[in-house]
Structure 1
Amino acid sequence: MKIKLVISFMVLLSLASCNNVYRIAKHNIPGITDYLVFDLDIIDKPDTAFIFPQSDQALLLPSPSDWVTGKHVSKRQDFETFLRRTGTVSFLIIKNDSILYENYFHNYRQSTAAQVFSITKSLVSALVGIAIEEGYITDINQKVSDFIPAYKEDGRDAITVMHLLNMTDGLNFSDYTTMHLLLGMYYHNNQKAYVDKIKLKHNPGEVFEYKSVSTLILGMVLEQATGRPLAKYIEEKIWKPLGMEYTAAMMLDSPDGTPLAYGGLVARARDLAKIGRLYINKGNWEGTQIIPEKWVENSFLRDTVFGQYYNYNKSWWLDTYIDRPLFEKRDLFAGGYAGQVLYINPEHDLIIVRQGNKRSGIKWGNSISKLAFLIVNEKNDEEPFFIDKNFLAGNYKNHSGINFEIKIVNNRLLITDGFVTIPLEKESMLNYRNRKENIQLFIDYIEGEVNGLFLDRNRSIEYFSKDVEFIVEVD
């Protein structure tokens, strides 16, 4: 592993220009203080700040062993020791507009800035909604090539703003499988030229692949559409209207260069929480509509018709405990490298922010969703509601007219397309699976209703709506 890292590092150095060799040498592995070696575009705060009051409600902090997923935690480890040992630098819990818990670690304070990485993507999504409302962008189906001429070539002319928001643009890039490309882009001092050269791997609108380059392009689209630097658009439309307490910044690839729209926001926990509050209130801030209400509402919905991932929409992660949802209504989060999280739960008016210098093997989105459940319910309950599988029986159809049937035979759930019948075993309340056939069902359950099913076959995911009333068969 060390040999591979060294080779990757040497390749990056060989590809780098003199201007960004220093960045690579000093910050080979990205971190929350990277902004210190990048050029910055300042986002000014307003004259008057909105301040969250302290709550007079006592909060019993749950043991980390009751809510952490992804890593074993000793029952003897207390809440704050756990946060400190996992590299957390800020942790903030706000409920009903009041601060229930706030603490800082590793010499960080309330006023200490940190890079928030991919939380930036969710902020950019909000700006796209605003830009559409203001007429700078026609709608989410407008072609990216209207703003980036290089994308009129090689089939990229089919890429739309919606494809970028949901990372179904088909570009040959992946944050997970081509890490060297991600690091090469991150440290590149001419990211616009870098973007121009990326070709298609899939037809736009067919395959989801998490890639930061999609949001980098969105930032470029916003600058071209509005005629303003991204940082100034954030300042005008979000930072000042929301009464942010602190000045923020957007990292640039070079002086007066391209903004790192996919991960370059530098901010504090309290100000991130205000973005969460804005979404909880459907884009409205103290009586003023900042983001179109419909845009916010649609961000909470699943839509897999055009290849979107079943729990990712408009740069937000939906249902953070996807295989075992803890809330009947939807919760969601913005997440970033090293475990940055902005979690929001509109049903319970709850916001949780975590910033950290490492992930420490923790699934922070899932874990914070579980923590939220414990805060709301003041108890540990792995499955807070029950769904009778008999209600799943019936016919299901996707947008292309392909259908399958679910039968319940001898209390077993069977899925059939008329030719092949496959039994599925219960993995959790909302997840059935056949490991041998690599097939999974995720139940789209919200507000007490089963709306449909997500069928995952070898990681190809499609959404199916229920077609007829269920029929229970008894063998």
Structure 2
Amino acid sequence: MKTTLYRPAVRFAAGCLAFGLLAAAARGQNAVAPQVAAVGPASSVPMAVQNLRWHMNDAEINALTFRSMHSLFTTRAVTRSGSVLRLPREDHDLNFNYTFEGEEYTADEVLDRTYTNAMLIMKDGVVVYENYLNNSEAQTHFMGWSMTKSLVSILVGAAHEAGLIKSLDDDITRYLPELSEGAYKGVSVRQVLQMRSGVDYEENYDFSAPGLAARNHIMALVKNVSRFVDPARTIKRAHAPGEVFAYKTIDTAVLGLLLERVTGMYLADYMQTTLWEPMGAESDGFYIMDGAPGVGREFSGAGFNAVLRDFARIGLMMLNEGQVNGHQVISPAWVAESTRPAGDEKAPLDYGYQWWTVSNTEAYSAIGLQGQYIFVDPESRTVIVKLSYFPPNDPEETASRETFSFFEAAARWRPE
């Protein structure tokens, strides 16, 4: 499971840091950062909040901002109710070592070496390790970033199984006709799930010369003057549908819009009734919104927040083929299909339906910007949730690669 990760989000993070630091002169002043002010119309979001959102990925503050999203954004709750799924536990020290780049480290060293805010390890449904760092605690809600994409995949599976999406091979504009003028016309639901839509949306966040993705980030998330999914209406085509895998958050934004349309519900409400309650969550989760109440939509591509143990419950449900306490939340067939690589497995990581797959193994993972993971290894019956604050300027992806070296060792570990 040696990995050299391809993480398009690294470019997003590096852009945030490099050009966020250029905006440092705006800190403490009554002015919006110049790179934000230069894009789109003026915003009614308070200047200080816009500047905080602009800097939220910076290495100096992301250990805090990644667990403070409720203070930076309007949110919509995914409310828990009913019985809480009990997680049995047998606490153990991390009494194993892992190897990275030819050096051996104790397992405990991974915490600071890879910028950890919280971590939980389960073996065969039993919590064997749980730790909170940097003044976080069991009630802290952590930003999942693009782990959210994997949760949207579960919800698409539920809608498909309920007959609300007739076929994954349907043209997505059958359900979203307003996208027919752009390049999503002729793209199937399956191709969007696989990030093979072919639309021209490079996940490149160069804020010195902002393209579509960078402008969309500023307009929708920092300034809230447009909705994140809006570019999908008129987007151009870069490749024929199905031909090329290209990671792009706009695809998941379209899946979020699809779920709203076919269910007639807010995404948060559908998630509450379809996943969060049946799963036995112990705490409310929440989405950050791309606009004010009555206007904004859930940021379905990367905006879900939850406590550590509830992220672990998602991993456990997937490990148990969609079952929770004898109740089938999502079918075993969908779990298998969504975590099956769509590519040829030449890369260390491939992609299924919004899940990253570890090539040539049974393992797969939800992965979020700057070090958020729900890692599932069916062979060893291991689930690991790691919530981190990786630095944004890591072109060698050192922390990511070391994290997967740790996951490989932790999967082999047999606590005694």
The interval holding the TM-score normalised by the smaller chain is 0.7 to 0.9
* 1:55-81 CA-partner distances (Å, limit 9, x unpaired): 16x444334xx3446xx97x5x75445
Note closer, same or farther for the CA distance 1:274–1:148 as it changes in structure 2 (3 Å cut). same
- Structure that is richer in helix per residue: 2
* Partners of 1:40 and 1:125 in 2: CA distance: 21
User: Does the 8 A contact of 2:370 with 2:389 survive in 1?
Assistant: yes
For residues 171-190 of structure 1, the aligned pairs below 5 Å read: 171-176=199-204, 180-181=214-215, 183-184=217-218, 185-187=220-222, 189=224, 190=226
* Partners of 1:165 and 1:199 in 2: CA distance: 19
Matched, 1:37 2:62: no
Matched, 1:124 2:163: no
Q: Which letter does structure 1 place at the counterpart of 2:341?
A: R
| Residue aligning to 1:150 | 178
- Structure that is richer in strand per residue: 1
Q: Relative contact order: is structure 1 or structure 2 higher (C-alpha 8 Å, sep ≥ 6)? A: 2
Q: Which letter does structure 2 place at the counterpart of 1:50?
A: L
Gaps of 5+ in 2: 1-14, 25-32, 58-65, 206-210
| Residue aligning to 1:301 | 340
| Residue aligning to 1:387 | none
* 1:315-371 CA-partner distances (Å, limit 9, x unpaired): 11111xx4xx6xxx4101010011001100111110001112225745556544433
Among 263, 274, 280, the residue aligned to 1:226: 263
The CA deviation at 1:180 is 2.0
| Residue aligning to 1:11 | 35
Note closer, same or farther for the CA distance 1:194–1:38 as it changes in structure 2 (3 Å cut). farther
Note closer, same or farther for the CA distance 1:198–1:96 as it changes in structure 2 (3 Å cut). same
* Partners of 2:410 and 2:115 in 1: CA distance: 22
| Residue aligning to 1:51 | 86
Note closer, same or farther for the CA distance 1:67–1:195 as it changes in structure 2 (3 Å cut). farther
| Residue aligning to 1:140 | 168
- Give the match's secondary structure for 2:270: helix
Among 289, 295, 315, the residue aligned to 2:354: 315
Note closer, same or farther for the CA distance 1:224–1:55 as it changes in structure 2 (3 Å cut). same
| Residue aligning to 2:366 | 334
Q: Which letter does structure 2 place at the counterpart of 1:291?
A: I
* 1:173-208 CA-partner distances (Å, limit 9, x unpaired): 122465624533433522143432422222221211
Which TM-score applies when normalising by structure 1?
0.70
The CA deviation at 1:85 is 5.2
| Residue aligning to 2:312 | 273
- C-alpha RMSD of matched pairs (Å): 2.9
Which TM-score applies when normalising by structure 2?
0.79
Gaps of 5+ in 1: 380-475
- Give the match's secondary structure for 1:294: helix
The CA deviation at 1:44 is 0.8
* 1:384-439 CA-partner distances (Å, limit 9, x unpaired): xxxxxxxxxxxxxxxxxxxxxxxxxxxxxxxxxxxxxxxxxxxxxxxxxxxxxxxx
* 1:56-109 CA-partner distances (Å, limit 9, x unpaired): 6x444334xx3446xx97x5x754454135431101111111111111111100
The CA deviation at 1:226 is 0.4
Identity of aligned residues (%): 25
- Give the match's secondary structure for 1:15: coil
The CA deviation at 1:274 is 0.8
User: Does the 8 A contact of 2:191 with 2:197 survive in 1?
Assistant: yes
Matched, 1:100 2:100: no
Larger-Rg structure: 1
Number of aligned residues: 363
* Partners of 1:107 and 1:180 in 2: CA distance: 32
Q: Which letter does structure 2 place at the counterpart of 1:284?
A: Q
* Partners of 1:196 and 1:310 in 2: CA distance: 30
Among 354, 362, 375, the residue aligned to 1:343: 375
